[in-house]
């Protein structure tokens, strides 16, 4: 790429600033850097010119930022610049300095094409979920010795013959067996009445050996799912969706929820175990569903983050996302969040799981998230993949909730180091 510099135009005053214009030209695009100087402070604004945004990105990507302040090069003179000492006493350049410190050769690239993360760390949900299951297994063994041989019990209610639901139920039962949790199940036919389903739920509510009840969704259309879910005792509501549990989650300094929804809790656990600081950080949750978005926002607040929720009616959502240190994407829109929307170094938790057509795959599609993985991984500091990120955590937290319910029932929460 050939880059040429125009000579600076004569300085002129704009609202008290001395202004110079410098143009950086590529083959089919150019960038105008507008420098404002006032009282020793320089600010650079970049204005793109060219045939298309794609051509701009192609050329600007070749403008590489210097590694530190000693490598800063002034556009006008091609000489090493003396960095302003007031901005940063260290030799490393901050993102703030890269945009604010006018006259350096990489400013156009930094403003028009956001900086790549020096290295995105993938958050391995499979590995973290395995660690959690191992911890649960050890606590279940400990529970046997201090609770007269008792172990946690999980009951699953399945209505109908949906293949995907049957697969989910088998997977949950298999995971229960791995960690030593007893699992029971009641399978009802597609035409089961609502009263028949409620009767099964009430029986499990009354069973002292069952500490968690899971109603597999979706249910047949003739059954009122809301009524069935409300029938589950909030003390056995391992999904965490009972109004009493969600209500308790939304309040601070009062009674704690018995259970927290599995997927949102899994997202927070991923952040904690990946050493992502939440206290005082800006977080954006993309999506406001009752299942993930809303409880995820509440959990982030409980961890002292400053939270913004972006939803389908939000204007300019990318502006909010660009400010976020933490992004939880749970909107159900294929590859919605773009890398250019992210703050460099942000932690990104991608909850979405969507099928995208791909002729190279045996099934004709591949699974992707609510974030454009290829562009986001170039900017994010830490990010979950899809699949292999949030998905494995959901079942792990379901098992954790069941363990905690049993520990409360047997009065051994403190001995097992669990919340009461």
User: What structural domains and CATH numbers belong to the chain?
Assistant: 4-112 (no CATH), 261-393 (3.40.50.720)
Average pLDDT over residues 264-274: 98
The one catalytic residue in 20, 69, 172, 377 is 172
User: For residues 81 and 244, which has the higher predicted lDDT (pLDDT)?
Assistant: 244
Contacts 24+ apart (CB under 8 A), 373-377: 373/335, 374/339, 375/338, 375/339, 375/340, 376/337, 376/338, 376/339, 376/342, 376/348, 377/117, 377/120, 377/122, 377/339
Average pLDDT over residues 51-76: 39
Confidence of residue 70 (pLDDT cuts 50, 70, 90): very low
- In degrees and rounded to multiples of 5, residue 209 shows phi and psi of -90, -5
Buried (b) or exposed (e) across 376-392, using 16+ Cβ within 10 A?
A: bbbbbbbbbbbebbbbb
Q: How high is the pLDDT of residue 118?
A: 63
Beta pairing class for 306-310 and 326-329: unpaired
The one catalytic residue in 216, 236, 237, 370 is 216
Tokens 């909030």 sit on residue: 234
Q: How high is the pLDDT of residue 85?
A: 43
User: For residues 119 and 399, which has the higher predicted lDDT (pLDDT)?
Assistant: 399
User: For residues 219 and 1, which has the higher predicted lDDT (pLDDT)?
Assistant: 219
Q: What is the pLDDT of residues 386-397, one digit of tens each?
A: 999 999 999 999
Q: Is 38 a residue whose pLDDT tops 90?
A: no
Q: What is the pLDDT of residues 310-334, one digit of tens each?
A: 999 999 999 999 999 999 999 999 9
Q: What is the pLDDT of residues 99-158, one digit of tens each?
A: 333 333 333 333 333 344 568 999 999 999 999 999 999 999 999 999 999 999 999 999
Q: Report helix, strand or coil for 400.
A: helix
Distance CA 285, CA 268 (A): 12
User: For residues 298 and 55, which has the higher predicted lDDT (pLDDT)?
Assistant: 298
Is 20 among the residues known to form the active site? no
| Cβ 330 vs Cβ 286: under 8 Å | yes
Nearest to 73 by CA among 62, 60, 64: 64
Is 134 among the residues known to form the active site? no
Distance CA 277, CA 304 (A): 10
Q: How high is the pLDDT of residue 117?
A: 55
Q: Is 420 a residue whose pLDDT tops 70?
A: yes
Q: Is 43 a residue whose pLDDT tops 60?
A: no
| Cα 48 → chain centroid | 31
DSSP 18-55: EEEEEEEE-SSEEEEEEEEEETTEEEEEEEEEES-HHH
For residue 215, what is the enclosing H or E element? strand 212-215
Would you call 178 exposed, middle or buried from its count of C-beta atoms within 10 A (0-12, 13-18, 19+)? middle
Contact residues for 242 (Cβ-Cβ < 8 A; gap 6+) = 229, 230, 232, 233, 234, 259
Confidence of residue 223 (pLDDT cuts 50, 70, 90): very high
Q: How high is the pLDDT of residue 253?
A: 84
Quote the pTM value.
0.72
Is 79 among the residues known to form the active site? no
Nearest to 292 by CA among 231, 240, 336: 240
Average pLDDT over residues 190-204: 97
Mean pLDDT of the chain: 80
Distance CA 378, CA 339 (A): 7
Whole-number Cα distances in Å, 274 to 128, 187, 267? 9, 39, 11
CB atoms within 10 A of CB 63: 19
Confidence of residue 187 (pLDDT cuts 50, 70, 90): very high
Q: How high is the pLDDT of residue 8?
A: 39
| Cβ 267 vs Cβ 349: under 8 Å | yes
The one catalytic residue in 124, 237, 239, 350 is 239
Q: How high is the pLDDT of residue 257?
A: 95
Least confident of 81-95, 213-227, 285-299, 312-326: 81-95
Give the CA angle between residues 65, 68, 70 to the nearest 5°: 110
């Amino acid at each position: 790429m050939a880059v040429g510099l125009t000579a600076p135009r004569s300085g002129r005053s704009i609202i008290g600033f001395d202004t110079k214009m410098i143009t950086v030209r590529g083959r089919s695009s150019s960038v105008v850097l507008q420098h404002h100087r006032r009282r020793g402070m320089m600010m650079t604004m970049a204005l793109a010119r060219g045939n298309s945004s794609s051509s701009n990105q192609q050329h600007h990507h070749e403008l590489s930022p210097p590694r530190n302040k000693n490598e800063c090069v002034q556009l006008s003179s091609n000489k090493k610049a003396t960095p302003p000492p007031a901005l940063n006493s260290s030799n490393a350049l901050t993102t703030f300095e890269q945009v604010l410190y006018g006259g350096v050769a990489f400013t156009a690239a930094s403003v028009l094409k956001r900086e790549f993360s020096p290295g995105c760390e993938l958050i391995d949900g499979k590995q973290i979920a395995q660690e959690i299951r191992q911890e649960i297994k050890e606590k279940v063994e400990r529970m046997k010795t201090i609770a007269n041989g008792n172990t946690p019990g999980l009951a699953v209610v399945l209505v109908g013959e949906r293949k995907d639901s049957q697969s989910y139920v088998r997977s949950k039962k298999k995971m229960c067996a791995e960690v030593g949790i007893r699992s029971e199940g009641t399978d009802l036919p597609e035409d089961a009445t609502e009263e028949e389903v409620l009767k099964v739920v009430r029986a499990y509510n009354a069973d002292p050996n069952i500490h968690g009840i899971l109603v597999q969704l979706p249910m047949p259309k003739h059954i009122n799912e809301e009524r069935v879910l409300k029938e589950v005792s909030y003390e056995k509501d391992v999904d965490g969706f009972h109004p009493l549990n969600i209500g308790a989650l939304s309040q601070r300094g009062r009674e704690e929820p018995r259970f927290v929804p599995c997927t949102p809790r899994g997202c927070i656990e991923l952040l904690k175990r990946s050493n992502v600081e939440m206290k005082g950080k800006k977080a954006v949750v993309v999506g406001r569903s009752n299942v993930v978005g809303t409880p995820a926002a509440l959990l982030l607040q409980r961890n002292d983050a400053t939270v913004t929720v972006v939803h389908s009616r939000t204007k300019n959502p990318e502006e909010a996302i660009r400010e976020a240190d933490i992004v939880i994407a749970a909107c159900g829109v294929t590859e919605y969040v773009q890398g250019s929307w992210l703050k460099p170094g942000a932690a990104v938790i991608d909850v979405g799981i969507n099928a995208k057509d791909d002729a190279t795959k045996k099934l004709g599609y591949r699974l992707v998230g609510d974030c454009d993985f290829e562009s986001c991984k170039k900017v994010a500091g830490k990010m979950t993949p899809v699949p292999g990120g949030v998905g494995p955590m959901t079942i792990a937290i379901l098992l954790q909730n069941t363990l905690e319910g049993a520990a409360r029932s047997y009065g051994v929460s403190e001995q097992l180091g669990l919340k009461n």
